[in-house]
């Protein structure tokens, strides 16, 4: 038996596989395809203080190596989320992490405060990094704001907090450190990379908002570099996100220093990817005589690295 368990602060995960917010809905749509209790943690679509319709179409463009989206955080708002979405999530035995965002600093605290008395929640992921809403990335591009919001949420809850970071900054580790100082238990990286596509017949941007967030296999090397940087700078765990589509991708991130990882865009074209990836991790460990997956974390060999 391979031990796949990992720890994120006080949060014990039976395996390092998590779902990335916005790519796995509220999990119920996947219940026929995946054994949801076999996933280390499920992270829900971002919930905000009030309902949001999201951005007008067109909101998704499929590109050769990834996907461009400008969904704009449509959701039912935290009150309806508790009534409509939590009952199913409360039936699950695995960790359920609620991803929250505000359109201002107080919005994060508002959501967490409202969710505090609700059972079946293992922790919160703070979406500091949505590129598709006005001001969405300001929470993770200004270290002062990132630290302040994290600290205010920290005062509101004893549940684990994960700060989700944007790659669209000069120094992701500076922002990561700010979140750590504010009391985050972990950071997750990366959210989508700002991108654009143009229709050359009409000469108009293909997304209604002009630019959007790029995700999928194309962003994996970018994410890997950011995760590597963060894991060398921070003392809290780093959760990897970005282009993970198979077990081999995930293993690269663990070796680079991630404690766990999230599976995102691949869920749209391989909805059982979380299951396949978990099996692939076991297979890799068996083949390579690794008893505990945690031994892989940060095992990168750097002796011959030039810088
Ligand atoms: C259609 C779509 C919707 C998303 N919605 C959210 C969201 O609501 N909240 C959030 O924090 N991230 C959201 N993300 C970002 C993903 O969670 C993830 O960080 C990003 O897609 C990179 O991972 P990937 O390349 O594996 O997809 C969304 C991504 C996509 C493609």
Q: Decide: residue 54, CB within 10 A, 0-12 exposed, 13-18 middle, 19+ buried.
A: middle
Find the catalytic residue in 34, 130, 179, 285.
130
Identify the sign of the CA torsion 173, 195, 43, 100: positive
Is residue 260 a contact partner of residue 18, using CB atoms and an 8 Å limit? yes
Instruction: Work out which ligand 1 atom sits closest to the CA atom of 127.
Output: 11
Interval 85-108: pLDDT, tens: 999 999 999 999 999 999 889 999
Instruction: Work out which ligand 1 atom sits closest to the CA atom of 22.
Output: 5
Is the distance from the beta carbon of residue 245 to the nearest atom of ligand 1 less than 6 Å?
no
Beta bridge partners of 19: 263
Backbone angles phi, psi at 69, to 5 degrees: -130, 150
Interval 124-157: pLDDT, tens: 999 998 766 776 667 888 999 999 999 999 999 9
Nearest CA to ligand 1 atom 23: 242
- Taking the centre of ligand 1 as the mean of its atom positions, its distance from the CA of residue 306, in whole angstroms, is 33
- Taking the centre of ligand 1 as the mean of its atom positions, its distance from the CA of residue 289, in whole angstroms, is 34
Is the distance from the beta carbon of residue 244 to the nearest atom of ligand 1 less than 6 Å?
yes
Nearest CA to ligand 1 atom 31: 265
Is residue 254 a contact partner of residue 297, using CB atoms and an 8 Å limit? yes
- Taking the centre of ligand 1 as the mean of its atom positions, its distance from the CA of residue 22, in whole angstroms, is 5
pLDDT of res. 136: 67
- Taking the centre of ligand 1 as the mean of its atom positions, its distance from the CA of residue 119, in whole angstroms, is 25
Is residue 287 a contact partner of residue 279, using CB atoms and an 8 Å limit? no
**Average pLDDT of adjacent 10-residue blocks, the chain of 307 residues:** 96 98 97 98 97 94 95 95 98 98 93 98 93 72 94 98 96 97 98 97 97 97 98 98 98 98 98 98 98 98 80
Residue 25 backbone zone (phi > 0: left; psi -120 to 50: alpha; other: beta)? left
pLDDT of res. 140: 80
Is the distance from the beta carbon of residue 101 to the nearest atom of ligand 1 less than 6 Å?
no
- The whole-angstrom separation of Cα 256 and Cα 249 is 11
Whether residue 246 lies in the annotated active site: no
Is the distance from the beta carbon of residue 237 to the nearest atom of ligand 1 less than 6 Å?
no
Is the distance from the beta carbon of residue 23 to the nearest atom of ligand 1 less than 6 Å?
yes
Nearest CA to ligand 1 atom 14: 22
pLDDT of res. 206: 97
Q: What domains can you pick out in the chain, each with its CATH number?
A: 6-296 (3.20.20.70)
């Amino acid at each position: 038996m391979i031990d796949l368990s990992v720890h994120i602060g006080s949060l014990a995960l039976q395996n390092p596989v998590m779902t990335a917010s916005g790519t796995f809905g509220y999990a119920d749509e996947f219940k026929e395809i995946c054994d949801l209790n076999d996933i280390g943690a499920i992270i829900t679509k971002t919930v905000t203080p009030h309902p949001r319709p999201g951005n007008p179409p067109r909101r998704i463009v499929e590109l050769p190596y990834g996907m461009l989206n400008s969904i704009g955080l449509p959701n039912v708002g935290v009150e309806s989320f508790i009534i409509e979405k939590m009952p199913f999530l409360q039936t699950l035995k695995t960790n359920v992490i609620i991803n929250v965002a505000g359109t201002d600093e107080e919005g994060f605290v508002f959501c967490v405060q409202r969710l505090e008395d609700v059972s079946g929640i293992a922790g919160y992921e703070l979406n500091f990094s949505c590129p598709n809403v006005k001001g969405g990335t300001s929470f993770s591009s200004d270290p002062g704001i990132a630290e302040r919001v994290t600290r205010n949420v920290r005062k509101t809850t004893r549940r684990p907090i994960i700060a989700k970071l944007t790659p669209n900054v000069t120094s992701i580790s500076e922002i990561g450190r700010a979140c750590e100082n504010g009391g985050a238990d972990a950071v997750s990286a990366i959210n989508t990379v700002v991108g654009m596509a143009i229709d050359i017949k009409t000469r108009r941007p293909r997304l209604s908002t002009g630019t959007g967030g790029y995700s999928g296999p194309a962003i994996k090397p970018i994410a890997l570099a950011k995760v590597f940087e963060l894991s060398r700078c921070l003392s809290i765990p780093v959760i990897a996100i970005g282009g993970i589509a198979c077990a081999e991708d995930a293993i690269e991130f663990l070796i680079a220093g991630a404690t766990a990882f999230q599976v995102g865009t691949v869920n749209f074209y391989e909805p059982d990817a979380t299951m396949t990836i978990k099996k692939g991790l076991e297979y890799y460990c068996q083949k390579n005589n690794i008893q505990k997956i945690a031994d892989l974390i940060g095992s990168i060999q750097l002796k011959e690295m030039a810088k």
